[in-house]
Amino acid sequence: MRDTLTYIESVMKQTSLEALWDDHCVEMSAYGFDRIIYGYTNFRSGMSLGDADDFFILSNHNRAYLDKFIGEGMYFHGPMMNWSLENTGSQSWNLVSKIMSNGGLTEEQQLVYEMNKSFGLNAGYTISFPTVSSRTKGAISLAAPEHVSQDELDARWKIHGRNIELINNVVHLKMHSLPYNNPERELTERQREVLEWVGDGKTIQDIAVLIDRKPATVEKHLRLARDSMNVETTAQALLKASFMRQIYLSDS
């Protein structure tokens, strides 16, 4: 593992989300976590995390696991997911054993627990990131290799836990300065351009002049942008595209 300051400096210099994530997987592996999954939403409402198509998810888990955990919606019933929605900071997965010993797992949570065990997810930590809005939530799940016990991992966390939590918080913040592509919510270059002009306060007539197109063409691009963002108004499309970093992209 690298010196914490050295790694943070490397994180802050990254300009590609893909490169940042690959580097972070290597760093977490050095700390003893071979499978990780990061999730973030801008569209939380109470216990609901919004449309799954709007989730921002990065993971090095195998496809079979992700198809079940994310694809089949099992994530919503994960005991550590429930913890992350109500807490900030880091938590050992020994919490699940404590809940089980008190007979506190629901039927759905028990199914998630058994599924995780079947994929060799026996020990790990979850980090829930601070938020400044009730609409946002981000967390990362760090899983140790199958042969590592939770007691072993907890002992290791006592030594490195503060550094691990710190660098994950820095990576979380850095991710939100980098653009990413969501195939379910992808704008074309023209849709992006007209939304940016709307954000700059231009009218449809203004935009038509600026891009040398008819007003009806501008309206068509805005309608398609609303469809791409799965919203009803242009203001909502502008806000959602901004949240998803689909507009005002840097040329670098």
- Lowest average pLDDT, out of 19-23, 24-28, 46-50, 159-163, goes to 46-50
What DSSP letter does each residue of 175-226 carry, written as one string?
HTTS----GGGPPPHHHHHHHHHHHTT--HHHHHHHHT--HHHHHHHHHHHH
Q: Crossing angle of helices 215-229/204-211, nearest 10°?
A: 110
User: 106 pLDDT exceeds 80?
Assistant: yes
The predicted pLDDT at position 184 comes to 64
Measured distance CA(80)–CA(92) in Å, rounded: 9
More confidently predicted of 184 and 212: 212
The predicted pLDDT at position 46 comes to 62
Read off the pLDDT of each residue in 109-138 and give the average, rounded to a whole number: 92
Read off the pLDDT of each residue in 44-61 and give the average, rounded to a whole number: 72
User: 251 pLDDT exceeds 70?
Assistant: no
Question: Is the sign of the CA dihedral 164, 68, 108, 122 positive or negative?
Answer: negative
The predicted pLDDT at position 252 comes to 47
The predicted pLDDT at position 10 comes to 96
Measured distance CA(11)–CA(6) in Å, rounded: 9
More confidently predicted of 57 and 139: 139
| Sole residue written with tokens 């759905």 | 108
Which domains are present in the chain?
Answer: 4-175 (3.30.450.80), 183-243 (1.10.10.10)
